[in-house]
Structure 1
């Protein structure tokens, strides 16, 4: 390219940026496009600042990492410039529920406000869509565990006649944990692809076609990484044509990537395969292959592997995470892996002899071959840049191998072609460069922007750290947390979240809370994570009746309870990563091998981000008021406590329980009178 041509390109880019910046400013002005369709719209300096930074990144085809505090309005801040720019947009969110919110509410609102003729599409993983072929099979062959599952299947069959999308999110009342879901959805393993008799009407394929034709596509982080690994989610054709990629809730991106860029073999997968093989064999090729023998051999090999993985451990109710080294050197574990690979290879041979009789056999042979290959891989040494562990539950063992981070993968993607990458979240780190996020994602050189929340935390929120409190690792700590939470929630009339750092703490804290409310003769309900689906628990909490919710990891983020329904958040202890977790151990070893402090550069930033997420449940609107309680005296006593406190929103600190109760009383006086 000649010098004049290069100068011309720069001039064109400058002109395009000027046009986009002008349009963005107009959209966010007090009399702009957004204000004209929403009477409650107010111009916010922080939101406009973020939107202009996004517009600049789009014009320059550069990378922007933006932390935007609660209340900034980051969704509109990236959607407006993305829709006003002339290009194809991919928006990735952390969860399917956030996808639905973007696609059904935010995107149509912004599109209509700006009057831009863009076509939008929603793309989820295949497990989110009804599989018509599997539904037909379930009608005739499924064995359902109880009458609730029978009713659920009947409801699905009725809905299947009218749905256009096949998205299971349309079905109200279908529990995510329902045993019906695996029967009516496909997986990469059992999908027949173009050989499926229902292929022309396939909801998954229809969603992919719509995504390929759309200007703006909404996906999730898991789908994005699944496609990078498998190239079969429909995005392999879509990604090369995308001009702008936006990752909302980007703080979850690295862990989603680690999960999907690894390798996994579970005994449950093998048992599912053996049962599918038996059903297909008896249905299409009875008597031609010893199906019962092959299926039984695979199942026995899978169960033997689980027993070898468990070793001397007794049965536990939950899931245990075991270090790979604890089992890899045992002779019975190695023998179980070899036996599993051998039985799967025998099954593959049997399936290939009848492959011409039905497409099911071709797919089953592929599954057998892939599962056997994974078993052989896990019998080999672990690569230096990866870590392995075993997830052991009462029903199965999962062998997992994962990279330590997504740095290499993201670097390859960023260098593939020039386009815009936007990463945004309310919590991306606790330093100016946001290294907690940028380092493991390979974004060290990206432009970084931090936009604070517009909320008045100093006036509306208080934080209380009880200094005379049992140590977080003592046996008295859960009981003390429950006693303090009961006193605060009792005074407030419920309206309280108790967030724990471990699932183990849920039951004892909830039990002690119930006992305390009974002793105080207070009609406050205690709802606990795991006792019902998350959506149902939130409905009960926000019903208006006095209620306390006790939850762990899944309630630390993604929960939005504005107004007076939630005015107190109690956190049991500082959310440091578990030091005995194999992935954490591997990351610590890497940092220490580089001469760095694992505690200051890994544990403290991880705790800061998680603490900020939990605290973020408290204040959700400009008028919300509340009390944050962190029941960990280390926050007040240890040198790193100041760093963690600084990561929180600028709440005013109260020093004593009496001051905390006085603030609770002040919150109560502002509550509306109950209606008759």
Structure 2
């Protein structure tokens, strides 16, 4: 199977062709594309879904293969700005940053100590640094606040060094976010690199469409305005004290930001996670329109003051550009939405983001593929449910590409079982989350933990976790329930591995990219079929587009999206040839509805169970093998 994949990759590289290749879990797709790339000795770009996979390729897989194949290939790693320490902003943080708590103070001290010895400036080198730390934005640059060649630390800049090394390399490892950020903003170095390569490989390609939409869209974020206000005060007081009312200008931006956040929240008082609001829920309200306009007025006033002192210091040129851009964004979001785009509001507990996005990325990929003849290779374990891989190919304008599907070598029929409880509350019934939690407690109690509960929404996550804890306590099973959001994702996974009798309850970020091989994870419970939320603004826009085309939104969109997500969630269970486990889907629609057959076909070919007694008996077998 791996040889079939590698052969197809080699042919696509040689022919400079487009290839879409789905390779099931265990095929070894990473080596399947890296070996042909290295042997071809063509200049190549490899893009991955996550920075952790980037690090794995660059630090482990590529050096190992390069040495084994004895090919003289120079490799480089390139991440986005937010991954690298900015020496200039570190200096500013030392002298002027206001840190929220003692944990931030400690984090900044750790970064300062590490900064003295690092060669790459990659923050991933610092063990235990929380990705959510408020210190990171203070010591990294953005496209908005980077001073470029005017920066006093430009000659030692880690971002510039990483881009220079990438331009000199034969094979460069990037990530999807970086690729699209560069295509849309020309800000990551990929724009210079892409025309020079003969092959581009996208690993975990199933994430490309959503990632692309993020970066092809336009965003006005309250966080941007707060950052601008803070940077205006810092630069104004440092370089032009008394030449403009810097505190007043920043205060107007702060007030505009607060008013916009309140107008977005409307009647909502407490927000957990991020809520996606339909644009017309807020855009027709005078308070919302006034708040957007007020923020634009504040940005315009700041721009006028900055223009007066622009010649004083390089910082003011970038600040002027940022203020003008914010005024333009405010004007844009007050105007009507273009017919081929969709808007919505992402509302968080502390911020709000106004977003405008295209409906698809087809045009972008057509443009990139037509720019020059090169190989374009897209691979993942999940790209469709048919041989044409239509789910992915249609979204990315790759209908004309070569297609290959290589199944998993794992013996699912012997090693795994699927159970759909026949009599269970429906997902729209009030008792469903509690029933899921109680069932999870019974199953995980029998197995001794070693279970994931994957939820389709953040809303039900605490409800299921509470019911699970209560049922476990009542049964005296002593299960340790770990809940997404209580700790960083990496910490939570490590606790799951280190803590006996543990159950992890997680939502979307745990459905994919999680690799727990062996008997540490032997039961995965999915709360309901993962259909796209019908009230999501982007989902609604795509539904309307399909209806205009005379197509069925349910058959051509909702069902396909659910099948792909279900396949991803089920993929957490069996990660190696010796793994064994139980997949439970607590949604009776999978048994009762006609479309359930299509969704079941998307799952790996596991054996099926009929009753809870059957499921418990299978868990007894797994538990016995664990203790043997």
With the length of structure 2 as denominator, give the TM-score of the two structures.
Answer: 0.99
2:550 to 595, 598, 604: 595
Task: Give me the whole-angstrom Cα distance separating, in 2, the residues matched to 1:314 and 1:672.
Answer: 49
Superposed structure 1 runs of 4+ greater than 4 Å apart: none
Aligned to 2:483: 528
* 1:414 aligned residue: 369
Q: CA RMSD in A?
A: 1.1
Partner of 1:455: 410
Q: 1:635 aligns with which of 555, 574, 590?
A: 590
For 1:670, what is the secondary structure of its paired residue? Answer: helix
What SS does structure 1 have at the residue aligned with 2:486? coil
Work out the CA distance in 2 between the residues paired with 1:335 and 1:459: 63
Provide the residue aligned with 1:256 in structure 2: 211
In the alignment, the residues of structure 2 paired with residue 414 and residue 531 of structure 1 have an alpha-carbon distance, to the nearest angstrom, of: 43
- Is 1:364 aligned to residue 316 of structure 2? no
SS in 2 for 1:439: helix
Partner Cα separation in structure 1 for residue 501 and residue 351 of structure 2? 40
SS across alignment from 2:503: strand
- What aligned pairs does 1:64-75 form with structure 2 within 5 A after superposition? 64-75=19-30
Q: What is the aligned partner in structure 2 of residue 328 from structure 1?
A: 283
SS at match of 1:474: coil
Aligned match of 1:21: none
Quick one: distance in 2 between partners of 1:244 and 1:433? Answer: 22
Offset at 1:281? Answer: 0.6
Matched, 1:56 2:7: no
CA offset digits 1:251-282 (Å, max 9, x no partner): 00000000000100012211210111011111
Counterpart in 2 of 1:609? 564
Give the deviation of 1:345 after TM superposition: 1.3
Match of 1:15 in 2: none
Q: What residue in structure 1 maps to residue 328 of structure 2?
A: 373
1:599 Cα shift?
0.4
Asked which structure has the greater RCO (Cα within 8 Å, sep 6+), the reply is: 2
CA contact (8 A) 1:544 1:565 kept: no
Residues 309 and 519 of structure 1: CA distance in aligned 2, closer, same or farther (over 3 Å): closer
Structure 1 residues without counterparts, runs of 5 or longer: 1-45
Q: Structure 2 CA distance, aligned partners of 1:632 and 1:383?
A: 39
- 1:266 touches 1:398 (CA, 8 Å); kept in 2? yes
Map of 2:102 onto structure 1: 147
Q: In the TM superposition, what are the counterparts of 1:504-519 in structure 2 within 5 Å? A: 504-519=459-474
Alpha-carbon distance in structure 1 between the residues aligned to 2:270 and 2:496:
34
Deviations 1:627-658 (A, max 9, x none): 00000000011111000000000001011111
Q: Give the CA deviation at 1:315.
A: 4.0
Once the two structures are superposed, residues 578-608 of structure 1 have per-residue CA deviations (whole angstroms, 9 ceiling, x without a partner) of: 0000000000000011110100110011000
Question: Pairwise mapping of residues 328-477 of structure 1 onto structure 2 (< 5 A)?
Answer: 328-477=283-432
Mapped partners of 2:117, 2:139: distance in 1 = 16
- What is the alpha-carbon distance in structure 2 between the residues aligned to residue 557 and residue 463 of structure 1? 19
SS in 1 for 2:459: helix
Partners in 1 of 2:160 and 2:70 — Cα distance? 30
CA distance in 2, matches of 1:315, 1:344: 28
Structure 2 stretches of 5 or more lacking a match? none
SS of match in other structure, 1:431: coil
Is 1:661 equivalent to 2:613 in the alignment? no
Output the CA distance in 2 between the equivalents of 1:397 and 1:546. 39
SS at 2:172 equivalent: strand
Answering whether residue 582 of structure 2 is matched by residue 624 of structure 1, we say no
Q: What is the DSSP-based 3-state SS (H/G/I as helix, E as strand, rest coil) of the residue aligned with 1:253?
A: helix
Structure possessing the higher radius of gyration over alpha carbons: 1
Give the length in aligned residue pairs: 628
Aligned-partner SS, 2:555: helix
Task: Tell me if 1:132 matches 2:96.
Answer: no
- 1:111-166, CA deviations, whole angstroms, 9 ceiling, x for partnerless residues? 11111110100000000001111111111111112222111111111110111101
